[in-house]
Amino acid sequence: CGLGMGGMAIRRVEDLGKDCPALVEGGMKGVRASFTRLILILLSIFLALKSMEFLSKMLGKKTAMVEEKDALAGRGTKMAVSGSHAIFKNALDQDFKGMEMLQIGMGCFWGAEKKFWTVEGVVSTAVGYSGGYTPNPSYEEVCSGRTGHNEVVRVVFDPSKTSLSSLLKVFWENHNPTQGNRQGNDVGSQYRSAIYYYSEEQKEQAVASKKMYQERLTEKGYGKITTEILPSKTFYFAENYHQQYLKKNPRGYCGLGGTGVSCPVSFGVSAE
């Protein structure tokens, strides 16, 4: 009962006709699934872009320096610091007669303070806020970027036992001074690199050291140093729990990291 070539062709056409609705429906399902996937992909891209835009705006606000007229009002009450230094066992809030001071900013002040309390000739350290406008700010206010302040370490040292140039060497070698208003993963104007000096002599040495270290960094392919060198302003003590934080919390966070570029100890300016 063979159909011949013609009969077989007719049967195939008839079978195809019977299958067409199913084929069409299957094709439509595939198209709809592909279209849905495309919509989801485009939506994901849109949301990612909006998130990046939001983060960019937020980071921009944090890294932009606030103007004095827009700074937080702060308060008249001084931050009370109690107890003694966890390393040196002396009172944090005192005159330190016969000693010299220097304020430095090099990112998160926890790790920076630890670097300096290990330097021979340093007799005390304290963390706090300086360089901005808001009187007696809190940590949360400084982190908002609306005080103008920097996280700093006030280093108290005996000039008969160490030199300012030795302290500046520690400063330059233990952070990246080319990053502007950030230090590694810590982003914000409160993490900017800074030297706040107490005398013209300190200013001269700081400026000379910056020039010398810039030459070394340039040789290694780094960009321009962004460290600000300014007269010291009022030093506002940070809260008690911040003081000598890494002594109290040995496994605590330390974001400090240098460039690996060495800094000369002498900058051609006498410490005497």
Residues annotated as catalytic (active site), given as ranges: 108
- Distance from C-alpha of 2 to C-alpha of 34, rounded to nearest angstrom: 44
- CA 110-114-118 angle, to 5 degrees, is 170
CA–CA dist 125, 114 (Å, integer): 9
* Beta strands 228-231 and 193-197, pairing class: parallel
Tell me which H or E stretch contains 13: helix 4-63
Task: Name which of 100, 244, 131 is nearest 193 in CA terms.
Answer: 131
Q: How far apart are CA 153 and CA 129, in angstroms?
A: 8
- Please give the DSSP secondary-structure letter assigned to residue 159: T
